Amino acid sequence: MTAEETVLTARQVLPEPSAPIRDGAVLVRGESVVAVGARADVLAQASPDAVHHDFGDATVLPGLVNCHVHLAFDAGKDPVGTLAETSGDALIAGGIERARQLLRSGVTTVRDLGDRDGLAFAVRARADETLPRILAAGAPITVPGGHCHFFGGETTGDDEIRALVDANAAAGADVIKVMASGGQMTPGGANMWESQFDARQLGVLVEHAGRHGLPVAAHAHGADAIEASVEAGVSTIEHCTWMVAPQQTDLREHVAKKMAERGIAACSTSSPNWRMMRDRMGPEIAKKVYGRLTWMDGLGVTLIAGTDAGLPGSVFDNPVGGLELYEWLGFSRTRILEIATVDSARVLGLGEVTGRLAAGYSADLLVVDGDPLKALSALHDVRLVMARGLQLAG
Ligand SMILES: [Zn+2]
């Protein structure tokens, strides 16, 4: 029996954001894309009994990638407190619902960068057809009482670092997450600009993760923590805010250049909350804080999309809100869509799997009303989401 074929036609198809096809079509067979191109060409390749959906004035584009979420957090006012009171089936049910919200809003690939009790692994294991592809880190590696210690990843010394890497790898981790600096959610822990690990310890961690074939994602607000993480050879820097003191940054060009040379990407973790933060900081400081993205882009650092969904107000169903930060910074919409699809997929090691629409790629796509190259807000008007060939109405 041959797998079912579906043809999607629309006024615009974006195999990748920089190469729009007017009046295009995508042919899907089973879980994969079989053909993408001009409507007539693709229709000629479809079998006579293929199901044909025409979306009129809509745009078909690759499914979005969110490289930084926390399925364990509920995006409410006190995610840490709520998590402390939640466990077992209730925790898993919450994680599944949040993964569904991501998918319904067009995110077909998601990377969870820290949870408790192996939540993301459990969600993935109970995955039915309504969930996105999930990459997961398990418990982030931190120091005693350190940033997000409540996830269960406290370590003291090299042996415990290696042991936690082993445990996460055994549980099915796709990436090792380390809290290289302090953060905002852990009273009593290091400040955001202070390091929790030095370059030597991070080197031990990266080397040991490498034995399992796993990349490392480093949470690093502090400029020192960023520099140490780059020195150690991590794969992505999360937040990457270059802080040295409260409201004070130190953009170290030699470090950013190394990131560019070594292919170490930066994930801005910009949530839909960025406007509120901008207004609270005032335009001058906001330009400095968010301007780091423009500065890194100019130096050739790869930027990837992530929202830190799960933190207060960082909801799971608004991937567009975070992307609009880049628009405010002056990035072109083509470039923004590249960050959210092809670039993020490549950095996650999925460059041959998803992030673009081409023959042989996973059928991960999104149909939206209008043209997101003219107005990013078009991404809100989801008509259809397809994840590995499975359809979900918007
Ligand atoms: Zn995070």
Burial class (CB in 10 A: 0-12, 13-18, 19+), 361: buried
- Give me the CATH code for the 64-347 domain, please: 3.20.20.140
Structure tokens of 321?
């809100």
The per-residue pLDDT for 127 is 62
Q: Which residues of the chain have pLDDT under 70?
A: 1-2, 127-129, 393-394
Burial class (CB in 10 A: 0-12, 13-18, 19+), 152: middle
Query: What's the residue count for the chain?
Result: 394
Q: Could you tell me the fold of the domain covering 5-63+356-393?
A: Urease, subunit C; domain 1 (2.30.40)
What is the C-alpha separation between 57 and 383, in angstroms, rounded? 11
- The rounded Å distance from CA 179 to ligand 1 centre is 9
- The rounded Å distance from CA 120 to ligand 1 centre is 14
- The rounded Å distance from CA 31 to ligand 1 centre is 31
Q: Give the tens place of pLDDT for each residue, 110-131.
A: 999 999 999 999 999 986 657 9
- The rounded Å distance from CA 392 to ligand 1 centre is 27
Q: Which residues are within 8 A (CB) of 223 and not within 5 positions of it... i.e. 6 or more apart?
A: 193, 242, 243, 244, 249, 250, 251, 252, 255
The per-residue pLDDT for 128 is 66
Q: Are strands 5-13 and 21-29 parallel, antiparallel or unpaired?
A: antiparallel
- The rounded Å distance from CA 382 to ligand 1 centre is 26
Q: How many CB atoms lie within 10 A of CB 200?
A: 12
- The rounded Å distance from CA 33 to ligand 1 centre is 32
The per-residue pLDDT for 319 is 84
Q: Where does 269-348 show beta strands of DSSP type E?
A: 303-304
Q: Give the tens place of pLDDT for each residue, 142-153.
A: 999 999 999 999
- The rounded Å distance from CA 352 to ligand 1 centre is 26
Structure tokens of 45?
């390749």
- The rounded Å distance from CA 3 to ligand 1 centre is 39
Q: Give the tens place of pLDDT for each residue, 240-292.
A: 999 999 888 999 999 999 999 999 999 999 888 898 888 988 888 888 889 99
- The rounded Å distance from CA 374 to ligand 1 centre is 31
- The rounded Å distance from CA 113 to ligand 1 centre is 6
What is the C-alpha separation between 122 and 141, in angstroms, rounded? 19
- The rounded Å distance from CA 72 to ligand 1 centre is 11
Domain spans, the chain: 5-63+356-393, 64-347
- The rounded Å distance from CA 139 to ligand 1 centre is 12
3-state secondary structure of 13: strand
- The rounded Å distance from CA 164 to ligand 1 centre is 19
